[in-house]
């Protein structure tokens, strides 16, 4: 008789419980079927990474989970029981907390930071509404301490509108964690955070995983998937195209995300070196208490400006665009003195900016793709005060088609598009207008690999045609992938200025860590 291996069932570890199940979820907007039968299970104590190109359906799936889109097909089960996710409050009652990528949809301008921290508890009736801000502060401090934010009362009592993007993201995360969720959904949570804040977030996610929380982590950064995730699910065109458990085959993950046409377009960008100086900055102080800098931005090349959050990247871009006044120093454009009083002065000269926060600074809620694409150029498509609808729609279609925007038509509301497609509209409207200087501040934030490649390729085409293109980012990998020349900013000062072929990643990272 052969030896038989007998396994004691009591000795085997119990399988982790499935906390939440999405079964055959469908969702359509008019004739546009966005989700086409998605089935996903989230398990206690596991991090599930959700990946997909822009327009794949990630944001829609998240909003189904969060109760924003209750009129979906299929079934949502929590703890094995079917539930109706009729609103965000209903999702919260079932232990589901979502931190959305769109910060402006989740904080209330006009209220203080403290009031925003306790806002959901007041709505749910867990905290009685009080008129005195002083009475809210103890609970607001408790919520902020969930992330060890250490915000003093001077921060808690100011209008939330005064917070930066990164701090607003931390506010929303602290508010979600204070509710001790069973399921935590994080949509691009690191897109606005510094390296130190990312490390702290990752440590927190690992702690939540050890405590049995199911985490759905949406990202475009494959390095984060490799570092954090236990399993990965890939959405493509509204369907699950792939799923894996760790360790992952990242090449297969990327193939599952991208269509064949995108994969075929993958190529190495050839370094270009510029010629004449477009913009020269002399003695310009980007930040208070930092030394002034001199910098030349040249036609015919893509200059990548890289630095950590707070390094002065946005201040540089906004100063050249005329959105902010220079603290000190002077600028020239084409060799002539240039001191724009308003961004309108820059636009007249062909100097364009795609700002860091597209939702707050580059789009208007409810506006169509065509309206958004033509907003900076109304004078070119109107006679007197009458706008030509035909010209408006033609330009909208040009942006849609030339920049590969996934939309039903140029009449679709731009804020109904995925984040990457919104970015393509905002970038595309300036590129089609033949810029002389194009400033792209964090253009890849919340953008998938395919859209990133499209934007990079278009940026190089603009430089090859003679434009001065400047890409500003806190991500070394992103800058290496797009820039001909790399400028490193540290606390408002230039630490490195070299062409990409002359340096490696180590030199860039080392210079970024040098503090005077």
| DSSP characters over 52-90 | E-TTSSHHHHHHHHTTS----EEEEEETTEEE---SHHH
- Quick one: tokens of 326? 């220079």
Starting at the edge strand found earlier in the chain, the sheet holding 18-29 runs: 32-43, 18-29, 73-78, 81-83
| Residue 357 counted as domain residue | no
Return all residues near 355 (Cβ < 8 A) that are at least 6 apart: 314, 317, 318, 323, 361, 362, 441
pLDDT in tens, 158-188: 988 888 777 888 898 888 888 888 999 998 8
- Quick one: tokens of 327? 């603290």
CA proximity to 257, closest of 214, 230, 221? 221
Q: Say if residue 215 is in the same domain as residue 236.
A: yes
| Residue 242 counted as domain residue | yes
99-134 b/e (C-beta count within 10 Å ≥ 16 → b)? bbbebeebbeeebbbbbbbbbbbeeeeeeeeeeeee
Q: Which of 120-134, 187-201, 211-225, 320-334 has the lowest mean pLDDT?
A: 120-134
Q: Quote the pLDDT of residue 401.
A: 87
Q: At residue 6, does pLDDT exceed 70? A: no
Cα distance between residue 354 and residue 365, in whole Å: 17
| Residue 358 counted as domain residue | no
As for how many domains the chain has, the answer is 3
- Sequential DSSP letters for 387-438: E-HHHHHHHHHHHHHHTT---S-TTSBGGGS-HHHHHHHHHHHHHTT--SEE
Whether the bond into 27 is cis, omega within 30 of 0: no
pLDDT in tens, 139-158: 999 899 888 888 998 999 99
| Residue 3 counted as domain residue | no
Q: Which of 221, 237, 264 is the last residue of a domain?
A: 264
Cβ neighbours around 338 below 10 Å, total: 19
Cβ neighbours around 516 below 10 Å, total: 8
Q: Say if residue 402 is in the same domain as residue 443.
A: no
- Quick one: tokens of 464? 């090859």
Q: Which of 419, 434, 449 is the last residue of a domain?
A: 434
Residue 477, domain extent: 265-350+436-516
pLDDT in tens, 440-468: 998 887 677 777 888 888 899 999 999 99
pLDDT-derived band at 72 (thresholds 50, 70, 90) equals very high
What proportions of the chain, in percent to the nearest 5, are helix, strand and coil?
A: 35, 25, 40
CA proximity to 407, closest of 367, 434, 435? 367
pLDDT in tens, 405-418: 888 899 999 988 88
Q: Say if residue 144 is in the same domain as residue 255.
A: yes
pLDDT in tens, 10-52: 444 445 688 899 999 999 987 778 899 999 999 999 999 998 8
Cα distance between residue 205 and residue 203, in whole Å: 6
| Residue 1 counted as domain residue | no
Q: Which of 249, 264, 279 is the last residue of a domain?
A: 264
Q: Quote the pLDDT of residue 269.
A: 65
Handedness of CA 283, 284, 290, 296 (dihedral sign): negative
Q: Say if residue 87 is in the same domain as residue 186.
A: yes
**Angle, nearest 10°, between helix axes 165-177 and 133-145?**
90
| Residue 399 counted as domain residue | yes
- Quick one: tokens of 499? 């062409």
Q: Which of 224-228, 253-257, 440-444 has the lowest mean pLDDT?
A: 253-257
Q: Say if residue 388 is in the same domain as residue 459.
A: no
Q: Quote the pLDDT of residue 386.
A: 87
Q: Say if residue 277 is in the same domain as residue 258.
A: no
- Quick one: tokens of 363? 């789009």
Cα distance between residue 399 and residue 426, in whole Å: 9
Q: Say if residue 402 is in the same domain as residue 281.
A: no
Cα distance between residue 376 and residue 438, in whole Å: 14
Cα distance between residue 164 and residue 213, in whole Å: 29
Beta bridge partners of 185: 98, 216
% of the chain residues with pLDDT over 90: 40
CA proximity to 325, closest of 312, 308, 348, 343? 343
Q: Say if residue 425 is in the same domain as residue 368.
A: yes
pTM > 0.85: yes or no = no
Rounded to the nearest 5°, which phi and psi values hold at 278?
-85, -60
**How far is the CA of 408 from the CAs of 274, 391, 417, 420, in angstroms?**
39, 19, 10, 15
Cα distance between residue 407 and residue 179, in whole Å: 36
| Residue 334 counted as domain residue | yes
Q: Say if residue 143 is in the same domain as residue 290.
A: no
Q: Say if residue 130 is in the same domain as residue 188.
A: yes
- CATH number for the domain spanning 166: value is 3.40.50.300
Q: Say if residue 417 is in the same domain as residue 500.
A: no
| Residue 233 counted as domain residue | yes
Q: Say if residue 116 is in the same domain as residue 215.
A: yes
């Amino acid at each position: 008789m052969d030896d038989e291996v007998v396994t004691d069932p009591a000795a085997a570890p119990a399988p982790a419980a499935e906390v939440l199940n999405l079964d055959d979820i469908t969702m359509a907007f008019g004739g546009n079927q966005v989700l086409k039968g998605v089935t996903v299970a989230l398990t206690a104590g596991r991090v599930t990474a959700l990946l997909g190109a822009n327009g794949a359906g990630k944001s829609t799936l998240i909003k189904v989970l969060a109760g924003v889109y209750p009129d979906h097909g299929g079934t949502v089960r929590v703890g094995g029981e079917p539930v109706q996710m009729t609103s965000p409050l209903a999702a919260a009652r079932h232990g589901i907390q979502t931190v959305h990528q769109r910060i402006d949809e989740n904080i209330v301008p006009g209220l203080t930071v403290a009031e925003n921290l306790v806002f959901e508890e007041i709505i749910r009736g867990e905290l009685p509404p009080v008129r005195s801000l002083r009475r809210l502060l103890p609970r607001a401090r408790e919520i902020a301490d969930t992330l060890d934010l250490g915000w003093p009362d001077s921060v808690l009592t100011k209008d939330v509108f005064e917070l930066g993007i990164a701090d607003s993201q931390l506010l929303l995360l602290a508010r979600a964690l204070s509710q001790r969720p069973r399921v935590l959904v994080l949509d691009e949570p690191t897109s606005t955070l510094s390296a130190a804040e990312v490390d702290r977030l990752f440590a927190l996610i690992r702690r939540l995983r050890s405590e049995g929380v199911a985490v759905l982590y949406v990202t475009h950064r494959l390095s984060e998937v490799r570092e954090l995730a236990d399993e990965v699910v890939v959405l493509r065109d509204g369907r699950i195209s792939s799923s894996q458990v760790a360790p992952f085959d990242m090449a297969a993950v990327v193939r599952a995300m991208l269509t064949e046409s995108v994969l075929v377009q993958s190529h190495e960008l050839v370094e270009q070196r510029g010629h004449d100086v477009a913009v020269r900055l002399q003695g310009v102080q980007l930040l208070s208490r930092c030394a002034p800098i001199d910098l030349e931005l040249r036609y015919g090349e893509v200059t990548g400006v890289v630095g950590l959050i707070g390094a002065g990247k946005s201040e540089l871009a906004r100063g050249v665009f005329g959105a902010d006044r220079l603290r000190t120093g002077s600028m020239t454009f084409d060799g002539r003195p240039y001191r724009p009083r308003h961004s309108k002065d820059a636009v007249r000269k062909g100097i364009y900016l795609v700002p860091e926060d597209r939702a707050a600074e580059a789009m208007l809620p409810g506006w169509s793709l065509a309206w958004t694409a033509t907003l900076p150029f109304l004078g070119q498509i109107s006679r007197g005060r009458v706008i030509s609808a035909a010209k408006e729609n033609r330009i909208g279609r040009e942006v849609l088609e030339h920049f590969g925007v996934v939309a039903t038509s140029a009449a679709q509301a731009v804020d109904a598009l995925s984040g990457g497609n919104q970015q393509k509209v905002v970038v595309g409207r300036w590129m089609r207008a033949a810029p002389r200087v194009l400033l792209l501040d964090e253009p890849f934030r919340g953008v998938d690999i395919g859209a990133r490649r499209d934007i990079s390729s278009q940026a190089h085409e603009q430089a090859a045609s003679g434009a001065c293109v400047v890409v500003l980012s806190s991500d070394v990998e992103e800058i290496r992938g797009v820039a001909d020349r790399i400028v490193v900013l540290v606390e408002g000062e230039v630490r490195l200025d070299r062409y990409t072929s002359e340096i490696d990643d180590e030199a860039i990272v080392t210079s970024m860590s040098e503090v005077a």
